[in-house]
Amino acid sequence: MAKVDALVGWRNLEIGCAITEPGSSRKLKTGDWRSQRPVTDRDKCIKCGMCWIYCPDIVYSPTKSGYFKWDGNYCKGCGICARECPKDAITMVMEGE
Amino acid sequence: MPKRVGMEVSLAASEAACAADADLIAAYPITPQTHIVEHLSELVADGKLDAEFVPVESEHSAISVCVGSSAAGARTFTATSSQGLALMHEILFIAPALRTPIVMVVANRALSGPISIWNDHSDIMAERDVGWIQTFAENGQEVFDLVIHAFKVAEDPEVLLPIMVNLDGFTLSHVVEPIEILSASEVSQYLKPYKPQMVLDPKKPVTMGPVGMPEVYTEARWQIESLLRGSKKVVVRAWKEFSKHYGRTYKPIETYRTRGADVILITMGSVTETAMTAVDGMREKGIKVGLVRFRLWRPFPIEELKRAVTGVKVLAVMDRAISYGGQGGPVFTEVRSALYGQSGQLQVFGFVAGLGGRDITAAMFEQMVKKAIRYAKKGKGPLYELMGVRER
Protein backbone atom coordinates (compact mmCIF):
# COMPACT_ATOMS: atom_id res chain seq x y z
CA MET A 1 0.00 0.00 0.00
CA ALA A 2 0.86 3.64 0.11
CA LYS A 3 4.14 4.81 1.48
CA VAL A 4 4.55 7.91 3.57
CA ASP A 5 7.90 9.66 3.52
CA ALA A 6 8.25 9.71 7.27
CA LEU A 7 6.28 7.22 9.38
CA VAL A 8 5.92 8.32 12.99
CA GLY A 9 5.09 6.49 16.20
CA TRP A 10 1.82 7.02 18.04
CA ARG A 11 3.40 9.49 20.46
CA ASN A 12 4.34 11.78 17.59
CA LEU A 13 1.06 11.72 15.72
CA GLU A 14 -0.66 15.10 15.57
CA ILE A 15 -3.60 15.60 17.93
CA GLY A 16 -6.49 13.65 16.47
CA CYS A 17 -4.29 12.53 13.57
CA ALA A 18 -4.89 15.95 12.00
CA ILE A 19 -3.01 17.14 8.92
CA THR A 20 -1.45 20.47 9.78
CA GLU A 21 0.54 21.21 6.60
CA PRO A 22 -1.16 21.86 3.25
CA GLY A 23 -0.13 19.75 0.25
CA SER A 24 0.91 16.80 2.38
CA SER A 25 -0.78 14.36 0.00
CA ARG A 26 2.27 14.78 -2.28
CA LYS A 27 4.15 12.74 0.29
CA LEU A 28 1.66 9.94 -0.10
CA LYS A 29 2.83 7.67 -2.89
CA THR A 30 -0.14 5.70 -4.09
CA GLY A 31 1.20 3.87 -7.10
CA ASP A 32 2.78 0.80 -5.62
CA TRP A 33 -0.23 -1.52 -5.76
CA ARG A 34 -0.64 -1.53 -9.55
CA SER A 35 -0.19 -4.85 -11.29
CA GLN A 36 0.52 -3.44 -14.77
CA ARG A 37 2.41 -0.37 -15.97
CA PRO A 38 2.22 1.52 -19.28
CA VAL A 39 5.33 1.57 -21.50
CA THR A 40 5.49 4.10 -24.35
CA ASP A 41 7.22 3.26 -27.61
CA ARG A 42 8.74 6.63 -28.56
CA ASP A 43 9.19 5.53 -32.15
CA LYS A 44 5.40 5.40 -32.49
CA CYS A 45 4.62 8.39 -30.22
CA ILE A 46 3.48 11.55 -32.05
CA LYS A 47 3.57 13.76 -28.87
CA CYS A 48 -0.18 14.41 -29.14
CA GLY A 49 -0.65 14.43 -25.34
CA MET A 50 -3.75 12.20 -25.26
CA CYS A 51 -2.16 10.14 -22.43
CA TRP A 52 -1.61 13.34 -20.46
CA ILE A 53 -5.17 14.53 -21.10
CA TYR A 54 -6.92 11.25 -20.30
CA CYS A 55 -4.89 10.08 -17.30
CA PRO A 56 -7.26 10.33 -14.27
CA ASP A 57 -4.32 10.69 -11.87
CA ILE A 58 -2.16 13.29 -13.67
CA VAL A 59 0.63 10.75 -13.97
CA TYR A 60 1.94 12.13 -17.29
CA SER A 61 3.60 15.52 -17.54
CA PRO A 62 4.88 17.41 -20.59
CA THR A 63 8.64 17.75 -21.12
CA LYS A 64 10.76 20.10 -23.26
CA SER A 65 11.39 17.34 -25.78
CA GLY A 66 7.65 17.13 -26.44
CA TYR A 67 7.33 13.60 -25.05
CA PHE A 68 5.30 12.97 -21.91
CA LYS A 69 6.99 11.74 -18.78
CA TRP A 70 5.34 8.97 -16.75
CA ASP A 71 5.41 9.04 -12.90
CA GLY A 72 5.21 5.57 -11.39
CA ASN A 73 4.68 6.91 -7.86
CA TYR A 74 1.05 7.63 -8.64
CA CYS A 75 0.09 5.42 -11.65
CA LYS A 76 -2.48 2.75 -10.71
CA GLY A 77 -2.06 0.88 -13.99
CA CYS A 78 -5.64 1.46 -15.17
CA GLY A 79 -4.63 1.35 -18.84
CA ILE A 80 -6.71 4.33 -20.01
CA CYS A 81 -3.62 5.89 -21.64
CA ALA A 82 -2.93 2.71 -23.61
CA ARG A 83 -6.56 2.52 -24.71
CA GLU A 84 -6.76 6.17 -25.78
CA CYS A 85 -3.37 6.42 -27.54
CA PRO A 86 -4.24 7.00 -31.26
CA LYS A 87 -1.03 5.33 -32.44
CA ASP A 88 -1.10 2.32 -30.07
CA ALA A 89 2.27 3.50 -28.81
CA ILE A 90 1.49 2.52 -25.20
CA THR A 91 1.56 -1.11 -24.06
CA MET A 92 0.55 -2.37 -20.63
CA VAL A 93 3.16 -4.73 -19.25
CA MET A 94 3.00 -6.80 -16.06
CA GLU A 95 4.93 -5.39 -13.14
CA GLY A 96 8.02 -7.45 -12.51
CA GLU A 97 8.56 -8.13 -16.22
CA MET B 1 -21.14 28.11 50.84
CA PRO B 2 -23.87 27.51 48.27
CA LYS B 3 -27.30 26.61 49.54
CA ARG B 4 -28.83 23.20 48.99
CA VAL B 5 -32.01 23.42 46.98
CA GLY B 6 -34.66 20.87 46.16
CA MET B 7 -34.26 20.22 42.45
CA GLU B 8 -35.10 17.55 39.92
CA VAL B 9 -31.86 15.77 39.07
CA SER B 10 -32.34 16.33 35.30
CA LEU B 11 -32.43 20.07 35.93
CA ALA B 12 -29.32 19.81 38.09
CA ALA B 13 -27.52 18.24 35.12
CA SER B 14 -28.55 21.24 33.00
CA GLU B 15 -27.56 23.67 35.76
CA ALA B 16 -24.13 22.03 35.83
CA ALA B 17 -23.62 22.61 32.09
CA CYS B 18 -24.80 26.18 32.69
CA ALA B 19 -22.44 26.71 35.64
CA ALA B 20 -19.63 25.28 33.49
CA ASP B 21 -20.46 28.01 30.96
CA ALA B 22 -20.89 25.66 27.99
CA ASP B 23 -20.61 27.44 24.63
CA LEU B 24 -22.73 25.10 22.56
CA ILE B 25 -25.47 22.59 23.22
CA ALA B 26 -26.77 20.36 20.43
CA ALA B 27 -29.36 17.85 21.56
CA TYR B 28 -32.48 16.00 20.57
CA PRO B 29 -35.09 15.26 23.23
CA ILE B 30 -35.66 11.65 24.22
CA THR B 31 -37.28 10.16 27.30
CA PRO B 32 -35.97 10.17 30.05
CA GLN B 33 -33.37 12.79 29.09
CA THR B 34 -35.97 15.33 27.88
CA HIS B 35 -36.00 17.58 30.94
CA ILE B 36 -32.24 18.11 30.64
CA VAL B 37 -32.42 19.61 27.14
CA GLU B 38 -35.70 21.41 27.83
CA HIS B 39 -34.15 23.18 30.78
CA LEU B 40 -30.96 24.02 28.88
CA SER B 41 -33.04 25.51 26.09
CA GLU B 42 -34.82 27.64 28.72
CA LEU B 43 -31.55 28.73 30.28
CA VAL B 44 -30.26 29.85 26.86
CA ALA B 45 -33.56 31.50 25.87
CA ASP B 46 -33.72 33.37 29.19
CA GLY B 47 -30.18 34.67 28.73
CA LYS B 48 -28.89 32.84 31.79
CA LEU B 49 -26.45 30.86 29.66
CA ASP B 50 -24.63 32.56 26.80
CA ALA B 51 -24.51 29.57 24.47
CA GLU B 52 -25.54 28.43 21.04
CA PHE B 53 -28.45 25.99 21.30
CA VAL B 54 -28.79 23.84 18.19
CA PRO B 55 -32.12 22.00 17.99
CA VAL B 56 -31.13 19.21 15.62
CA GLU B 57 -33.29 16.64 13.83
CA SER B 58 -31.75 13.50 15.33
CA GLU B 59 -29.17 12.26 17.79
CA HIS B 60 -26.84 11.42 14.91
CA SER B 61 -26.93 15.10 14.03
CA ALA B 62 -26.65 16.15 17.69
CA ILE B 63 -23.36 14.37 18.21
CA SER B 64 -22.12 15.41 14.76
CA VAL B 65 -22.76 19.07 15.58
CA CYS B 66 -20.99 18.53 18.89
CA VAL B 67 -17.90 17.12 17.17
CA GLY B 68 -17.78 20.11 14.82
CA SER B 69 -18.38 22.58 17.62
CA SER B 70 -15.71 21.06 19.83
CA ALA B 71 -13.28 20.98 16.90
CA ALA B 72 -13.91 24.71 16.48
CA GLY B 73 -12.85 25.22 20.10
CA ALA B 74 -16.22 25.57 21.83
CA ARG B 75 -17.03 24.00 25.19
CA THR B 76 -19.67 21.52 24.08
CA PHE B 77 -22.43 19.68 25.91
CA THR B 78 -25.14 17.25 24.96
CA ALA B 79 -27.37 14.64 26.53
CA THR B 80 -29.22 11.58 25.30
CA SER B 81 -30.58 8.18 26.20
CA SER B 82 -31.18 4.67 24.88
CA GLN B 83 -32.15 4.64 21.17
CA GLY B 84 -30.69 8.13 20.88
CA LEU B 85 -27.33 6.94 22.15
CA ALA B 86 -27.53 3.98 19.79
CA LEU B 87 -28.22 6.34 16.87
CA MET B 88 -25.06 8.28 17.81
CA HIS B 89 -23.02 5.07 17.67
CA GLU B 90 -20.90 5.68 14.56
CA ILE B 91 -19.99 9.25 15.54
CA LEU B 92 -19.20 8.20 19.11
CA PHE B 93 -16.00 6.55 17.83
CA ILE B 94 -15.04 9.67 15.89
CA ALA B 95 -15.25 12.09 18.84
CA PRO B 96 -12.26 10.59 20.71
CA ALA B 97 -10.39 10.00 17.44
CA LEU B 98 -10.65 13.73 16.70
CA ARG B 99 -9.80 14.48 20.36
CA THR B 100 -12.95 16.53 20.89
CA PRO B 101 -13.62 16.91 24.64
CA ILE B 102 -17.42 16.77 24.48
CA VAL B 103 -19.34 16.22 27.71
CA MET B 104 -22.49 14.13 27.37
CA VAL B 105 -25.00 13.12 30.01
CA VAL B 106 -26.66 9.78 29.36
CA ALA B 107 -29.93 9.14 31.18
CA ASN B 108 -29.64 5.36 31.11
CA ARG B 109 -32.60 3.53 29.63
CA ALA B 110 -33.27 0.10 28.16
CA LEU B 111 -32.86 -0.50 24.44
CA SER B 112 -35.67 -1.78 22.23
CA GLY B 113 -37.14 -4.35 21.79
CA PRO B 114 -39.59 -4.59 23.14
CA ILE B 115 -39.86 -0.82 23.39
CA SER B 116 -39.05 0.28 26.91
CA ILE B 117 -38.63 3.78 28.21
CA TRP B 118 -37.51 2.53 31.61
CA ASN B 119 -34.17 2.27 33.29
CA ASP B 120 -31.37 -0.20 32.86
CA HIS B 121 -27.80 -0.04 31.50
CA SER B 122 -28.20 -1.75 28.13
CA ASP B 123 -27.76 1.55 26.26
CA ILE B 124 -24.40 2.46 27.77
CA MET B 125 -23.02 -1.07 27.84
CA ALA B 126 -23.53 -1.26 24.07
CA GLU B 127 -21.25 1.81 23.83
CA ARG B 128 -18.63 0.50 26.22
CA ASP B 129 -15.84 0.34 23.65
CA VAL B 130 -16.22 3.68 21.86
CA GLY B 131 -13.22 5.34 23.50
CA TRP B 132 -15.03 7.75 25.82
CA ILE B 133 -14.31 8.20 29.52
CA GLN B 134 -17.41 6.93 31.36
CA THR B 135 -18.56 7.74 34.88
CA PHE B 136 -21.70 6.67 36.75
CA ALA B 137 -23.54 8.80 39.29
CA GLU B 138 -25.39 7.49 42.31
CA ASN B 139 -27.38 10.56 43.33
CA GLY B 140 -28.31 14.08 42.26
CA GLN B 141 -25.39 15.85 43.88
CA GLU B 142 -23.04 13.44 42.19
CA VAL B 143 -24.65 14.14 38.81
CA PHE B 144 -24.03 17.87 39.22
CA ASP B 145 -20.47 17.34 40.44
CA LEU B 146 -19.55 14.75 37.82
CA VAL B 147 -20.66 17.05 34.98
CA ILE B 148 -18.39 19.83 36.26
CA HIS B 149 -15.61 17.29 36.78
CA ALA B 150 -16.17 15.91 33.27
CA PHE B 151 -15.33 19.25 31.61
CA LYS B 152 -12.20 19.55 33.76
CA VAL B 153 -10.94 16.12 32.73
CA ALA B 154 -12.04 16.14 29.09
CA GLU B 155 -10.38 19.47 28.36
CA ASP B 156 -7.11 18.64 30.11
CA PRO B 157 -4.35 18.81 27.45
CA GLU B 158 -3.14 15.40 28.64
CA VAL B 159 -6.55 13.91 27.87
CA LEU B 160 -8.68 15.73 25.25
CA LEU B 161 -11.19 12.93 25.14
CA PRO B 162 -14.99 13.05 25.41
CA ILE B 163 -16.79 11.93 28.58
CA MET B 164 -20.18 10.37 29.24
CA VAL B 165 -21.70 10.98 32.65
CA ASN B 166 -24.29 8.27 33.29
CA LEU B 167 -27.34 8.64 35.47
CA ASP B 168 -30.21 6.22 35.80
CA GLY B 169 -33.27 7.26 33.82
CA PHE B 170 -36.34 8.09 35.96
CA THR B 171 -35.05 6.47 39.16
CA LEU B 172 -32.46 9.24 39.32
CA SER B 173 -33.22 11.67 36.48
CA HIS B 174 -36.80 12.38 37.58
CA VAL B 175 -36.46 12.51 41.35
CA VAL B 176 -36.19 15.72 43.34
CA GLU B 177 -33.21 15.78 45.66
CA PRO B 178 -31.50 18.36 47.87
CA ILE B 179 -28.56 19.50 45.72
CA GLU B 180 -25.87 22.11 46.24
CA ILE B 181 -25.87 24.07 42.99
CA LEU B 182 -22.58 25.87 42.43
CA SER B 183 -22.73 29.20 40.61
CA ALA B 184 -20.78 29.91 37.43
CA SER B 185 -18.32 32.07 39.38
CA GLU B 186 -17.77 29.35 41.97
CA VAL B 187 -17.20 26.79 39.22
CA SER B 188 -14.84 29.14 37.37
CA GLN B 189 -12.35 28.86 40.24
CA TYR B 190 -12.05 25.14 39.50
CA LEU B 191 -12.82 24.97 35.79
CA LYS B 192 -10.71 27.34 33.70
CA PRO B 193 -11.72 28.40 30.17
CA TYR B 194 -11.18 25.71 27.53
CA LYS B 195 -7.91 26.12 25.62
CA PRO B 196 -8.16 23.90 22.56
CA GLN B 197 -4.88 22.36 21.41
CA MET B 198 -5.98 21.76 17.83
CA VAL B 199 -8.68 23.96 16.41
CA LEU B 200 -10.47 24.56 13.12
CA ASP B 201 -9.43 28.08 12.17
CA PRO B 202 -9.27 29.54 8.64
CA LYS B 203 -6.15 31.49 9.65
CA LYS B 204 -4.28 28.25 10.21
CA PRO B 205 -6.00 25.55 8.20
CA VAL B 206 -5.83 21.93 9.36
CA THR B 207 -7.53 18.78 8.17
CA MET B 208 -9.26 16.87 10.95
CA GLY B 209 -10.44 13.33 10.41
CA PRO B 210 -8.48 12.37 7.28
CA VAL B 211 -8.18 8.77 6.10
CA GLY B 212 -5.81 6.63 8.15
CA MET B 213 -3.85 4.37 5.84
CA PRO B 214 -2.76 0.97 7.21
CA GLU B 215 0.62 2.54 8.06
CA VAL B 216 -1.06 5.01 10.43
CA TYR B 217 -4.32 3.47 11.68
CA THR B 218 -2.71 1.18 14.27
CA GLU B 219 -0.78 4.08 15.82
CA ALA B 220 -3.88 6.31 15.75
CA ARG B 221 -5.95 3.71 17.62
CA TRP B 222 -3.16 3.07 20.10
CA GLN B 223 -2.94 6.80 20.76
CA ILE B 224 -6.59 6.80 21.88
CA GLU B 225 -6.14 3.64 23.95
CA SER B 226 -3.03 5.02 25.65
CA LEU B 227 -4.66 8.36 26.35
CA LEU B 228 -7.82 6.75 27.71
CA ARG B 229 -5.83 4.47 30.02
CA GLY B 230 -3.62 7.39 31.04
CA SER B 231 -6.64 9.59 31.73
CA LYS B 232 -7.25 7.83 35.05
CA LYS B 233 -4.61 9.88 36.83
CA VAL B 234 -6.20 13.08 35.48
CA VAL B 235 -9.67 11.85 36.53
CA VAL B 236 -8.39 11.22 40.06
CA ARG B 237 -6.40 14.48 40.19
CA ALA B 238 -9.47 16.45 39.09
CA TRP B 239 -11.54 14.80 41.84
CA LYS B 240 -8.89 15.70 44.44
CA GLU B 241 -8.92 19.28 43.27
CA PHE B 242 -12.72 19.27 43.31
CA SER B 243 -12.60 18.14 46.92
CA LYS B 244 -10.29 21.03 47.84
CA HIS B 245 -12.66 23.55 46.29
CA TYR B 246 -16.05 22.21 47.29
CA GLY B 247 -15.44 19.64 50.04
CA ARG B 248 -16.98 16.62 48.33
CA THR B 249 -14.60 13.73 47.70
CA TYR B 250 -14.89 11.25 44.83
CA LYS B 251 -12.88 8.18 43.91
CA PRO B 252 -12.94 5.73 40.97
CA ILE B 253 -14.39 3.04 43.24
CA GLU B 254 -16.57 3.56 46.29
CA THR B 255 -16.59 1.04 49.12
CA TYR B 256 -19.18 0.55 51.84
CA ARG B 257 -18.69 -1.65 54.93
CA THR B 258 -16.04 -3.74 53.17
CA ARG B 259 -13.85 -4.00 56.28
CA GLY B 260 -13.80 -7.61 57.44
CA ALA B 261 -16.22 -8.65 54.69
CA ASP B 262 -16.21 -12.20 53.33
CA VAL B 263 -18.64 -11.35 50.54
CA ILE B 264 -18.77 -8.20 48.46
CA LEU B 265 -21.61 -6.99 46.27
CA ILE B 266 -20.56 -4.99 43.21
CA THR B 267 -22.96 -2.44 41.73
CA MET B 268 -23.14 0.67 39.59
CA GLY B 269 -25.47 3.64 39.56
CA SER B 270 -28.33 4.79 41.75
CA VAL B 271 -29.48 1.31 42.83
CA THR B 272 -26.36 1.27 45.03
CA GLU B 273 -28.33 3.20 47.66
CA THR B 274 -30.77 0.29 47.87
CA ALA B 275 -27.80 -2.07 48.02
CA MET B 276 -26.43 -0.13 51.00
CA THR B 277 -29.72 -0.63 52.83
CA ALA B 278 -29.50 -4.34 51.99
CA VAL B 279 -25.91 -4.51 53.30
CA ASP B 280 -26.95 -2.84 56.57
CA GLY B 281 -29.76 -5.38 56.98
CA MET B 282 -27.49 -8.34 56.28
CA ARG B 283 -24.77 -7.04 58.61
CA GLU B 284 -27.40 -6.91 61.38
CA LYS B 285 -28.12 -10.57 60.67
CA GLY B 286 -24.40 -11.36 60.98
CA ILE B 287 -23.64 -11.82 57.27
CA LYS B 288 -20.21 -10.31 56.67
CA VAL B 289 -21.04 -8.44 53.49
CA GLY B 290 -19.70 -5.23 51.99
CA LEU B 291 -20.36 -3.19 48.88
CA VAL B 292 -18.22 -1.90 46.03
CA ARG B 293 -19.49 0.57 43.46
CA PHE B 294 -17.87 1.61 40.20
CA ARG B 295 -17.99 5.38 39.73
CA LEU B 296 -15.41 5.20 36.96
CA TRP B 297 -16.14 2.54 34.33
CA ARG B 298 -13.83 3.70 31.51
CA PRO B 299 -10.91 3.62 31.97
CA PHE B 300 -11.56 0.47 34.03
CA PRO B 301 -10.01 0.98 37.50
CA ILE B 302 -8.23 -2.38 37.81
CA GLU B 303 -5.85 -1.48 40.66
CA GLU B 304 -8.59 0.18 42.71
CA LEU B 305 -10.83 -2.87 42.24
CA LYS B 306 -8.07 -5.25 43.33
CA ARG B 307 -7.41 -3.16 46.43
CA ALA B 308 -11.13 -2.99 47.28
CA VAL B 309 -11.60 -6.76 47.24
CA THR B 310 -8.35 -7.82 48.89
CA GLY B 311 -8.98 -10.65 51.36
CA VAL B 312 -12.53 -11.24 50.16
CA LYS B 313 -13.61 -14.79 49.29
CA VAL B 314 -16.81 -14.23 47.29
CA LEU B 315 -17.99 -11.53 44.91
CA ALA B 316 -21.59 -11.09 43.76
CA VAL B 317 -21.52 -8.79 40.73
CA MET B 318 -24.71 -7.16 39.50
CA ASP B 319 -25.33 -6.07 35.92
CA ARG B 320 -28.19 -4.04 34.51
CA ALA B 321 -27.73 -5.40 30.98
CA ILE B 322 -27.59 -8.73 29.19
CA SER B 323 -24.69 -9.46 26.89
CA TYR B 324 -26.55 -11.75 24.50
CA GLY B 325 -24.85 -15.08 24.00
CA GLY B 326 -21.88 -14.06 26.10
CA GLN B 327 -20.63 -15.23 29.46
CA GLY B 328 -22.61 -12.86 31.65
CA GLY B 329 -23.12 -9.13 32.05
CA PRO B 330 -20.30 -6.77 31.09
CA VAL B 331 -19.52 -5.69 34.66
CA PHE B 332 -19.36 -9.30 35.84
CA THR B 333 -17.16 -10.54 33.00
CA GLU B 334 -14.79 -7.59 33.34
CA VAL B 335 -14.52 -7.92 37.10
CA ARG B 336 -13.86 -11.64 36.84
CA SER B 337 -11.31 -11.07 34.10
CA ALA B 338 -9.56 -8.32 36.10
CA LEU B 339 -9.24 -10.66 39.08
CA TYR B 340 -8.26 -13.79 37.16
CA GLY B 341 -5.09 -15.31 38.53
CA GLN B 342 -5.27 -13.45 41.84
CA SER B 343 -3.87 -15.42 44.71
CA GLY B 344 -6.39 -16.84 47.17
CA GLN B 345 -9.71 -18.57 46.72
CA LEU B 346 -11.73 -15.70 45.28
CA GLN B 347 -14.93 -16.80 43.53
CA VAL B 348 -16.96 -14.42 41.37
CA PHE B 349 -20.66 -14.88 40.53
CA GLY B 350 -22.75 -12.79 38.15
CA PHE B 351 -26.35 -11.58 38.50
CA VAL B 352 -28.42 -9.55 36.09
CA ALA B 353 -31.28 -7.55 37.57
CA GLY B 354 -33.52 -4.57 36.97
CA LEU B 355 -33.94 -4.84 33.21
CA GLY B 356 -36.24 -2.32 31.54
CA GLY B 357 -37.38 -0.74 34.80
CA ARG B 358 -37.99 -3.94 36.83
CA ASP B 359 -37.63 -3.02 40.50
CA ILE B 360 -34.52 -4.06 42.39
CA THR B 361 -35.28 -4.43 46.06
CA ALA B 362 -33.07 -4.78 49.12
CA ALA B 363 -34.42 -8.35 49.40
CA MET B 364 -33.15 -9.08 45.90
CA PHE B 365 -29.63 -7.99 46.89
CA GLU B 366 -29.85 -10.26 49.91
CA GLN B 367 -30.83 -13.13 47.59
CA MET B 368 -27.81 -12.44 45.35
CA VAL B 369 -25.45 -12.49 48.32
CA LYS B 370 -26.96 -15.69 49.73
CA LYS B 371 -26.86 -17.40 46.34
CA ALA B 372 -23.22 -16.35 45.86
CA ILE B 373 -22.32 -17.78 49.30
CA ARG B 374 -24.13 -21.03 48.45
CA TYR B 375 -22.45 -21.35 45.03
CA ALA B 376 -19.07 -20.62 46.61
CA LYS B 377 -19.55 -23.42 49.15
CA LYS B 378 -20.40 -25.83 46.31
CA GLY B 379 -17.48 -24.45 44.32
CA LYS B 380 -19.67 -23.74 41.28
CA GLY B 381 -22.66 -21.71 40.17
CA PRO B 382 -24.55 -20.99 36.96
CA LEU B 383 -22.86 -19.07 34.12
CA TYR B 384 -24.82 -16.09 35.45
CA GLU B 385 -28.30 -15.60 36.78
CA LEU B 386 -31.19 -13.35 35.72
CA MET B 387 -32.93 -12.38 38.94
CA GLY B 388 -36.68 -12.86 39.18
CA VAL B 389 -37.24 -14.08 35.62
CA ARG B 390 -40.49 -16.03 35.24
CA GLU B 391 -40.21 -19.35 33.46
CA ARG B 392 -43.92 -19.85 32.79
Indicate whether B342 belongs to any domain.
yes
Peptide bond into B114 cis (omega under 30): yes
The answer on pLDDT for A25 being more than 80 is no
Predicted pLDDT at B1: 66
% pLDDT > 90, chain B: 96
Is the peptide bond prior to B299 cis by the omega test (within 30 degrees of 0)? yes
Q: How much is the average pLDDT of B115-131?
A: 98
Chain A hits for B102, CB-CB cut-off 8 Å, are none
Judged by CB atoms closer than 8 Å, whether chains meet at A10 and B197 is answered as no
Domains of chain A in sequence order: 3-94 (3.30.70.20)
pLDDT at A2: 44
Owning domain of residue B57: 4-246
- Based on the domain organization, do B261 and B189 belong to the same domain? no
Say if residue B242 is in the same domain as residue B257.
no
Cβ–Cβ pairs < 8 A, chains A and B: 56
> Per-residue pLDDT for A8 more than 90?
no
Give how many domains chain B has, as a whole number. Answer: 2
Contacts of A32 in chain B (CB under 8 A): none
B215/A1 CB distance under 8 A: yes
Q: Domain check: are B53 and B183 in the same one? A: yes
Last residue of a domain, one of B212, B246, B280: B246
pLDDT value of position B218? 96
Instruction: Please give the Cα distance from B318 to B42 (Å, whole number).
Output: 38
Among B193, B224, B246, residue at a domain's last position? B246
Alpha helix stretches (DSSP H) within chain B: 9-19, 34-45, 59-71, 82-87, 89-97, 122-125, 140-154, 184-188, 214-246, 272-284, 302-308, 330-339, 362-378
When pLDDT is averaged across residues B361-381 and rounded to a whole number, the result is: 97
Residues of B in contact with A9 (CB under 8 A): 219
**Band (A33; pLDDT cuts 50, 70, 90):** confident
Average pLDDT over residues B362-385: 97
Chain A residues closer than 8 Å to B215 by CB: 1-4, 7
- If asked whether residues B24 and B165 sit together in one domain, one would say yes
Are B207 and B131 members of one domain?
yes
Please judge whether B160 and A3 are an interchain contact, meaning their C-beta atoms are less than 8 angstroms apart: no
pLDDT tier at A6, thresholds 50, 70, 90 = low
User: Is B391 within a domain?
Assistant: no
Q: Which residue, B214, B246, B278, sits at the end of a domain?
A: B246
Does A7 touch chain B if contact means CB atoms closer than 8 Å?
yes
Please state, in angstroms and rounded to a whole number, the distance separating the CA atoms of residues B347 and B340.
10
Residues B317 and B262 in one domain: yes
Side chain identity, residue B359? D
Determine whether the interchain pair A10/B222 forms a contact, defined as Cβ–Cβ distance below 8 Å. Answer: yes
Contact across the interface for A18 and B198, Cβ inside 8 Å: yes
> Which among B160, B213, B219 is the nearest to A15, CB-wise?
B160
| Predicted ipTM of the assembly | 0.82
The model's pLDDT over B283-318, given as tens digits with 9 standing for 90+, comes to: 999 999 999 999 999 999 999 999 999 999 999 999
CATH number at B371 reads: 3.40.50.920
Do residue B109 and residue B221 come from a single domain?
yes
Residues of chain A neighbouring B205 (CB-CB closer than 8 A)? 22
Mean pLDDT value across chain B: 97
Q: Output the pLDDT for position A5.
A: 52
The model carries a pTM of 0.91
- The CATH number linked to B30 is 3.40.50.970
